[in-house]
Chain A
Amino acid sequence: MSIRLEHLNYIYSSGTSYEKHALKDINLTILHGEFVGIIGHTGSGKSTLIQHLNGLIRAGSGKLYYNDKNIYEDGYNMKELRNQVGLVFQYPEHQLFEVDVITDVCFGPKNQGLSPEECRERALEALKLVGLKEKYYEVSPFELSGGQKRRAAIAGVLAMRPKVLVLDEPTAGLDPKGRDDILEQIAYLHKQTDMTVILVSHSMEDIARFADRIIVMNHGEVMYNDEPKKVFAHYRELEKVGLAAPQVTYMMHDLRERGFAVDTEATTVEEAADEIMRVLETKR
């Protein structure tokens, strides 16, 4: 159960003056059950990359293996691939269309050919997972607030019970509380089930908190592909490409420079606090 990309290339509007080499020779492996964060500035090819994962965009050249099967081979069942790799787009609430929330969430399972009872069962399960209150199930999705719409839309993908969940900036435009809620629910989901999660984000803090591994994209290329601590150690290089390490990293480096013997590898506030406590205690 893995996704493997080999020498993947993609060019937008090939052969015109708008030509843009969006992905350059991408080689990646994403293992089953991993929580991977993809980060990069606007236009670095993140969104293009993830649309390859369920076959929405066909690579110009290169190979993409899902469970060791090349998806570009003739006769590959794309529909099955899309059932297994669920993709939540940026601003997914813009895809809502049904008369009420639950029917909208049922759209995915219905396309999978499930019976109406099964669809409903899955929809209820998904809505519970994203934490949308029951009183909203029969309401028109257009009457919900932004955060609630987002949850309903994510539920629409979860109801298909994908093996791999790809989220393209699921927290863009949400308030801090809504952001934390959604990310925590995704992390919870990842722990509860054996789902692979690929999270695209601008925010280093968000990714540092949850991802086992970070992929940094820059101008269509993979710049770093490593665990968070090691990626953030390159915080100066990250800055040069318009990104930044989490604020904690800066603070830890600062402390160290001022002669405070902390380990700079902490990536979350909690880790940093523990580390500072540790040093303080040894000092005493």
Chain B
Amino acid sequence: MIRDITIGQYYPAKSILHRLDPRVKLVSTLLYLISLFLFRSISGYIVATLFLAGIIRASKVPFRHIVKGLKPIIMLLMITVFFNLFLTRDGEVLFHKWIFTITEGGLRTAVYMAIRLIYLIIGSSLMTFTTTPNELTDGIEKLLYPLNRIHVPVHEVAMMMSIALRFIPILLEETDKIMKAQIARGADLESGNMVQRVKSMIPILVPLFVSAFRRANDLAMAMEARCYRGGEGRTKMKPLCYRTRDRIAYMVVIVYVIGVFLIGKYVPLRVWIF
């Protein structure tokens, strides 16, 4: 029941995107997110859509799976669209009733904002779909390594991140198990008012906390037993190194960012108010 959350989870498949160096994916995702805010015209959106579609194709993650991951942000999306739609006063009035007014500018901003948000989420979830948590933290560690000079504990932060990420599925599974066990003992998790519902979470939260601490303790013990003592002098089993495909990927992304910026700016394409 609780395992259906797909956003931010790795999706195993064999694709070029899965094989790329995590650093490439991190940097590219960042560039892609920035690029979404570099244009304000329909031609820019067309290029961005084509690019995203190409990436989705290349990732071999089924489109349905990606859309399923969008579910949790629908609420946020609706709120954004709602405020942009009714609170922006710009240009001709398209619709007016009681306190609700929609203007040209409002509609435009709302639609653009919605598309941007969706592309933002899809773009960044594609990164997590195609990168295992371990690769991701490896990538972050290597990218942020220069910060070590100014005494930022990069390795420790990366290690904490990878442990945290690693524990998400474990704790989800644990929650599922405990919930089932308590339901089997007649626990009622769904009905009742707010206070009752919060109270009914106690039989789940207490065992969950206990198990989280137990697991943390076990992990610390296991790490110590293998002589873990921080990042200093520690080598990697699979050290990251750039290959030809990674350089090509960087190039593709840079060409895209420049392209989308130039096309968005200089190719005039107007459909109605957009």
- B13 interface residue, CB < 8 Å from A? yes
A-contact bits for B126-144, CB 8 A (1 contact / 0 none): 0000000000000000000
**Contact across chains for A97 and B207 when beta carbons are under 8 A apart:** yes
**Contact across chains for B207 and A83 when beta carbons are under 8 A apart:** no
Q: Which residues of chain B from 167 to 194 have any CB-CB distance to chain A below 8 Å in the complex?
A: 174, 177-178, 180-188
- Residues of B contacting A157 in the complex (Cβ-Cβ under 8 angstroms): 184-185
Contact of A142 with B210 at beta-carbon distance under 8 Å, contacts A82-B183, A108-B186 already known: yes
**Contact across chains for B186 and A97 when beta carbons are under 8 A apart:** no
Q: How far is the CA of A79 from the CA of B11 in the complex (A)?
A: 36
**Contact across chains for B177 and A89 when beta carbons are under 8 A apart:** yes
Closest chain B residue, CB of each to CB of A113: B186
Q: In the assembled complex, how far is the CB of residue A107 from the closest CB belonging to chain B, in whole angstroms?
A: 6
Q: In the assembled complex, how far is the CB of residue A168 from the closest CB belonging to chain B, in whole angstroms?
A: 10
Q: In the assembled complex, how far is the CB of residue A281 from the closest CB belonging to chain B, in whole angstroms?
A: 51
**Contact across chains for B186 and A83 when beta carbons are under 8 A apart:** yes
Which residue of B174, B203, B210 contacts A107 across the interface (Cβ within 8 Å)? B203
Q: Which residues of chain B from 186 to 209 have any CB-CB distance to chain A below 8 Å in the complex?
A: 186-188, 202-203, 206-207
Closest chain B residue, CB of each to CB of A96: B207
Q: How far is the CA of A54 from the CA of B181 in the complex (A)?
A: 11
**Contact across chains for A156 and B180 when beta carbons are under 8 A apart:** no
**Contact across chains for B184 and A56 when beta carbons are under 8 A apart:** yes
**Contact across chains for B206 and A111 when beta carbons are under 8 A apart:** no
**Contact across chains for A97 and B184 when beta carbons are under 8 A apart:** no
**Contact across chains for A94 and B188 when beta carbons are under 8 A apart:** no
Interface centre among B65, B185, B210, B211 (most CB of A within 10 A): B185
- A247 interface residue, CB < 8 Å from B? no
- B146 interface residue, CB < 8 Å from A? no
- Residues of A contacting B91 in the complex (Cβ-Cβ under 8 angstroms): none
- B12 interface residue, CB < 8 Å from A? yes
Q: How far is the CA of A15 from the CA of B180 in the complex (A)?
A: 23
**Contact across chains for B207 and A87 when beta carbons are under 8 A apart:** no
A-contact bits for B13-31, CB 8 A (1 contact / 0 none): 1000000000000000000
- Residues of A contacting B206 in the complex (Cβ-Cβ under 8 angstroms): 97
Q: How far is the CA of A82 from the CA of B202 in the complex (A)?
A: 20
Which residue of B3, B178, B184 contacts A82 across the interface (Cβ within 8 Å)? B184
**Contact across chains for A17 and B13 when beta carbons are under 8 A apart:** yes
Closest chain A residue, CB of each to CB of B205: A97
Q: Which residues of chain B from 246 to 270 have any CB-CB distance to chain A below 8 Å in the complex?
A: none
**Contact across chains for A94 and B211 when beta carbons are under 8 A apart:** yes
**Contact across chains for A82 and B186 when beta carbons are under 8 A apart:** yes
Q: How far is the CA of A17 from the CA of B162 in the complex (A)?
A: 24
Q: In the assembled complex, how far is the CB of residue A241 from the closest CB belonging to chain B, in whole angstroms?
A: 26
**Contact across chains for A160 and B185 when beta carbons are under 8 A apart:** yes
**Contact across chains for B210 and A95 when beta carbons are under 8 A apart:** no
A-contact bits for B107-142, CB 8 A (1 contact / 0 none): 000000000000000000000000000000000000
- Residues of B contacting A160 in the complex (Cβ-Cβ under 8 angstroms): 185-186
- Residues of A contacting B203 in the complex (Cβ-Cβ under 8 angstroms): 95, 97, 107
**Contact across chains for A94 and B186 when beta carbons are under 8 A apart:** no
- Residues of A contacting B178 in the complex (Cβ-Cβ under 8 angstroms): 94-95
Which residue of B12, B174, B185 contacts A108 across the interface (Cβ within 8 Å)? B185
**Contact across chains for B177 and A111 when beta carbons are under 8 A apart:** no
- Residues of B contacting A89 in the complex (Cβ-Cβ under 8 angstroms): 177, 180-181, 184
**Contact across chains for B11 and A17 when beta carbons are under 8 A apart:** yes
Q: How far is the CA of A111 from the CA of B178 in the complex (A)?
A: 16
Q: In the assembled complex, how far is the CB of residue A21 from the closest CB belonging to chain B, in whole angstroms?
A: 17
**Contact across chains for A94 and B12 when beta carbons are under 8 A apart:** no
**Contact across chains for A111 and B207 when beta carbons are under 8 A apart:** no
- Residues of B contacting A86 in the complex (Cβ-Cβ under 8 angstroms): 184
Which residue of B62, B177, B185, B211 contacts A156 across the interface (Cβ within 8 Å)? B185
Interface centre among A82, A94, A95 (most CB of B within 10 A): A95
- Residues of A contacting B180 in the complex (Cβ-Cβ under 8 angstroms): 51, 56, 89
Q: In the assembled complex, how far is the CB of residue B228 from the closest CB belonging to chain A, in whole angstroms?
A: 26
Q: Which residues of chain A from 75 to 94 have any CB-CB distance to chain B below 8 Å in the complex?
A: 79, 82-83, 86-87, 89, 92, 94
Q: How far is the CA of A83 from the CA of B183 in the complex (A)?
A: 10
- A115 interface residue, CB < 8 Å from B? no
**Contact across chains for B188 and A111 when beta carbons are under 8 A apart:** yes
Q: Which residues of chain B from 82 to 120 have any CB-CB distance to chain A below 8 Å in the complex?
A: none
Q: How far is the CA of A89 from the CA of B180 in the complex (A)?
A: 9
**Contact across chains for B207 and A54 when beta carbons are under 8 A apart:** no
A-contact bits for B59-70, CB 8 A (1 contact / 0 none): 000101100000
Q: Which residues of chain B from 210 to 240 have any CB-CB distance to chain A below 8 Å in the complex?
A: 210-211
**Contact across chains for B185 and A54 when beta carbons are under 8 A apart:** no
Closest chain A residue, CB of each to CB of B185: A108
Q: How far is the CA of A92 from the CA of B174 in the complex (A)?
A: 12
Q: Give 10 pairs: A residue, B residue, CB < 8 Å, sorted on A.
A: A16-B62, A16-B65, A89-B180, A97-B207, A107-B182, A107-B185, A107-B186, A111-B187, A111-B188, A160-B186
Binding site for A on B (CB under 8 A): 3, 11-13, 62, 64-65, 174, 177-178, 180-188, 202-203, 206-207, 210-211
Q: A56-B180, A94-B211 are in contact. List 4 more A-B contacts (CB 8 A).
A: A94-B210, A95-B178, A95-B185, A142-B210
